Amino acid sequence: MRFWDSSAIVPLLVHEPTSRRLLALLQEDPRMIAWGGASLECVSAIARCPWHWSAAMNA
């Protein structure tokens, strides 16, 4: 079981250079512990990155 903070969770939700490695870590051990406010931090981080939105809209 690993602790995941928002900087590790966001690449699981949107494509980033670290996404592949973090997905591999999650597959090794799918049990995840995160701070209760991590979801808000993730939404905030994604909202601040307009290239994520444009990539998602074009997918």
> What are 19-41's pLDDT values in tens digits?
999 999 999 999 999 999 999 99
Question: 49: pLDDT confidence band, cut at 50, 70 and 90?
Answer: confident
Number of domains in the chain: 1
Domain ranges, residue 25: 2-58
Average pLDDT over residues 46-52: 75
Residue corresponding to tokens 């969770």: 9
Whether 53 has a pLDDT exceeding 80, the answer reads no
Burial of 32 from C-beta contacts in 10 A (0-12 / 13-18 / 19+):
middle
Report the predicted TM-score, pTM, of the whole model to 2 decimal places. Answer: 0.77
pLDDT of residue 47: 86
Q: What is the DSSP string of the chain?
A: -EE--HHHHHHHHS--TTHHHHHHHHHH---EE--TTHHHHHHHHHHT-HHHHHHHHH-
